[in-house]
């Protein structure tokens, strides 16, 4: 914040000209140009909530939390753990302390909220469902049978649930996070329409926060792969994209933006300033399609994979979506090293992700949480 708005906050120095003797005794004031105050800027950050989020994250090894106010996009909390004491830099940091920060195993110098890029996992299924409903190739009642996987050539694309979910529709597939349903629907929708919806909901692009180290994430498409690798897109890659794996990458800030836009149907954009007069344009999504996805997200929390995230308040509830972001397993040598190295075992666990908004009846806040290697 200081870097971005220093000139606005600084104001202008004043100047007083005086006639003085050789001994610096003031004889008279010749002129005076009083100083000018800088602007007052109200930030959206809630200090108590920021402190609470950091203390909660400190029970984990590494992660990020973003909470966004839906009325103006104000970031109420943007927390990255672990962090460092910036006072170390005030008088010039020592080589020892700098090397310790630079070599920290948990990437302490990275603001994971805007620079951490993760496969969004099953949280990306929200985008697939919105794309399918908007394209008119999915509906609330059509069912798909999940027997535990889909065979494509010699490869079995598995569902996370051994034995499968049985017969599911859109709502039960999202509540149970069924992979097979979303393999089938992603194939039907096509990766280009999925990519277009991902961009509309805030993925694959930097926000307007203007952080130097912010990363854009990645939303793959046939054109992107051709430009990047000079190879055609494969059906199996559509399956992987449909469950938020493969090439797809997103930051926690983008995931919070996605949740905010689904909750409101508006192009909510994150900001670090409080702006009571903010007004966001509509996303041109059909209200009935938004409502269907919102209701399915509510079921995720009330009776699906996020049951433990249900809020302990009768008067309002939360809608959400869980995600498990798979990480590379490494070589056989890496796997052997994990047996004797506790840190390497931790690094091989999947990331745990949650996105949501609350209250479901009249959404006020959106949230995204990533616990690195949280299982």
Q: Residues with catalytic annotation? A: 122
Between the CA of residue 238 and those of 106, 234, 247, 287, 370, what are the distances in Å? 32, 7, 10, 27, 24
Among 286, 88, 126, 135, CA closest to 203:
126
Is residue 164 a contact partner of residue 149, using CB atoms and an 8 Å limit? yes
| Bridge-based pairing state of the strands 144-146 and 166-168 | antiparallel
Among 103, 50, 54, 101, CA closest to 81:
54
Among 321, 190, 185, 311, CA closest to 250:
321
Sign of CA dihedral 139, 121, 264, 266: negative
């Amino acid at each position: 914040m200081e870097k971005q708005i220093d000139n606005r906050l600084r104001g202008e120095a004043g100047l007083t000209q005086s006639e003085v003797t050789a001994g610096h005794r003031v004889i008279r004031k010749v002129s005076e140009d009083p100083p000018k105050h800088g602007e007052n800027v109200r930030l959206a950050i809630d200090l108590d909530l920021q402190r609470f989020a950091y203390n909660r994250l400190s029970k984990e090894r590494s992660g990020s939390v973003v909470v966004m106010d839906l009325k103006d996009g104000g970031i109420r909390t943007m927390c990255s753990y672990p962090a460092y004491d910036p006072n170390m830099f005030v008088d010039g940091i020592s080589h020892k302390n700098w090397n310790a920060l630079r070599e920290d195993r948990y990437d302490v110098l990275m603001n994971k909220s805007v620079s951490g890029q993760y496969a969004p996992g099953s949280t990306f299924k929200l985008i697939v469902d919105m794309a399918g409903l908007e394209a008119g190739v999915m509906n609330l009642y059509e069912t798909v049978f999940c027997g535990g996987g889909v065979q494509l050539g010699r490869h079995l694309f598995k569902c996370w649930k051994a034995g499968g979910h049985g017969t599911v529709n859109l709502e039960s597939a999202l509540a149970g996070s069924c992979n097979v349903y979303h393999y089938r629907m992603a194939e039907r929708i096509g990766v280009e329409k999925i990519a277009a919806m991902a961009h509309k909901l805030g993925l694959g692009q930097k926000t307007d926060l203007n952080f130097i180290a912010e990363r854009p994430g990645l939303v793959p498409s046939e054109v992107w792969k051709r430009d990047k690798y000079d190879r055609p897109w494969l059906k199996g890659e559509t399956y992987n994209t449909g469950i938020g794996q493969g090439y797809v990458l997103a930051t926690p800030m983008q995931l919070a933006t996605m949740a905010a836009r689904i909750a409101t149907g508006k192009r909510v954009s994150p900001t670090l300033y409080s702006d009571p007069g903010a007004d966001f344009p509509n996303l041109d999504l059909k209200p009935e399609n938004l409502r269907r996805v919102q209701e399915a997200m509510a079921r995720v929390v009330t009776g699906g994979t996020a049951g433990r995230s249900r809020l302990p308040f009768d008067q309002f509830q939360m809608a959400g979506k869980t995600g498990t972001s798979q990480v590379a397993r490494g070589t056989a040598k890496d796997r052997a090293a994990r047996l004797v190295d506790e840190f390497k075992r931790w690094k091989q666990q999947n990331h745990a992700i949650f996105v949501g908004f609350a209250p479901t009846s009249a959404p006020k806040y959106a949230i995204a949480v990533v616990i690195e290697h949280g299982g």
